[in-house]
Chains A and B, each alone.
Chain A
């Protein structure tokens, strides 16, 4: 009986300590130089979408914020944290709204189910263009049920609507649960990292990838910042 209690206590301590000593990597993604001017999108060919935008929206290849902040950058643990194989069950959604993809970059775990919904009054076709995963191309008229899909290999997949050629987005399929997409001024946060050495990778659709090594020793928050050199074109 006593041994059982001791074991239980030990287990509790172990579980708690591993949670207590979980570290966090957080930081900011910024750019140097002058990013290419994002072009305004002419949606006059799709009036039902055009009227949803008071001022014309622009392309989203590079989304910046104050103080040279860079949003929509996927930041993830690319090595050091063995993938626990736990596929998140929560629903993640990629929405077509106002002939735009929301979010512009949808990050997900390999084999995680995601759904695509059409909030517009027009038909879209969802045409992701994977190179290692399998390609498909589906139509989604207004009012049709969500399209549920998943990808079984890690890959950054460009997504297109052929009917509305300005629509462009990305699926970031990752073999880790430690990821974030920089937002609200380039901020990202990777919590729950047990002590260890990690490689953190940041991916921007136009500027490519950058990596940084970081060591977590206990319940600490390490700051890692990424700076991309902006392309003028």
Chain B
């Protein structure tokens, strides 16, 4: 009896404490009615899609793709691929909406789907001046799987083939003349209206620009970056050339593919390099050898885009170096 009462004395408080601990652990702190209803998670139908990067084949149905997309991409691009991930509200520019399949960095003409290689490169390169990081620490196979996974979100990938990559002719030598012609084109094609007369992203229309979803967007500032400056879609002269010919879809940057000849585009590349004043380049070397003065372009018979046809009032203000 004494034993029983003694064990009761210890057992009762122990049970109460245990009960309290259990209660704290298992009773919901708020009742189910207080939790806002976020609705069921929208199920994502993973269509079997493929990507081909060299000899690597990516699969949307692979475990890699599903796991990596949720881990690395969904935070911004959203589980449903609609660009509405939970971080999206904080980002500028906004993450791509894969459901409309409009992509910035392509080797293909405006309005066409990018190649697998284009998407693969974007993932590995990241997009400068945005929140898209460089994902080159993710294995090539996994990146290829992600390229395939991105395709499940838009029906365009079922019906359409990727566009044909543009051909980039060999780059002609950089000369003072090509820089001067490039500068004339920069004025003529109204590049400066957004990018500014000195490429500082401060042209008269710059403050009005919006992307295709009506979010404000800034034109590229050529002058600000240092020696390691990159563009959104790469850092080589070929990458810059590609930008004019493909445009940056989803943004105000149009395609010039139908209106400029390859040589004109190369001249424009050479001039744009001189706007990157802090970057070491062949173009800047040639320009400093000419004491920083770009001579006015003298019209040649061969070019059909001549600055002579530009009325005086359309010349960019203070366009000189």
Where the two chains meet, the residues of A that have a C-beta atom closer than 8 Å to any C-beta of B are: 45-48, 121-123, 125-127, 129, 131, 134-145, 147, 162-165
Contact = CB atoms under 8 A, between A and B. Distances in A.
Given A164-B205, A165-B208, A136 B193 contact: no
Tell me if B's interface is mostly helix, strand, loop or mixed.
loop
Given A134-B111, A135-B249, A162-B209, 4 more contacts: A127-B252, A137-B247, A138-B255, A162-B252
B189 A123 contact: yes
15 contacts: A127-B254, A129-B212, A135-B102, A135-B250, A136-B247, A137-B249, A137-B251, A139-B255, A141-B189, A141-B305, A144-B259, A162-B194, A162-B205, A164-B205, A165-B205
B193 A135 contact: no
A166 B60 CA distance: 43
Contacts of B250: 135
A136 B111 contact: yes
B251 to A, nearest CB: 8
B309 interface: yes
Nearest to B109: A136
Contact of B314 (A121, A136, A140): A121
Most A CB atoms within 10 A — which of B156, B247, B250, B314? B314
A123 B203 CA distance: 15
Contacts of B209: 162, 165
B258 A145 contact: yes
A126 B247 CA distance: 12
Contacts of B313: 47-48
B253 interface: yes
Given A48-B314, A138-B247, A125 B254 contact: yes
A125 B259 CA distance: 11
Contacts of A122: 190, 314
B311 A48 contact: yes
Interface in B282-314: 305, 309-311, 313-314
A139 B205 contact: no
Contacts of B257: 138
A164 B204 CA distance: 9
Contacts of A143: 309
Contacts of B110: 136-138
A129 B210 CA distance: 11
A186 to B, nearest CB: 30
Contact of A121 (B204, B205, B305, B311): B311
Interface in B190-242: 190, 193-194, 204-205, 208-209, 212
Given A127-B254, A141-B188, A163-B194, A135 B111 contact: yes
B256 interface: yes
Contact of B254 (A46, A138, A144): A138
Contacts of B253: 137
A213 B313 CA distance: 54
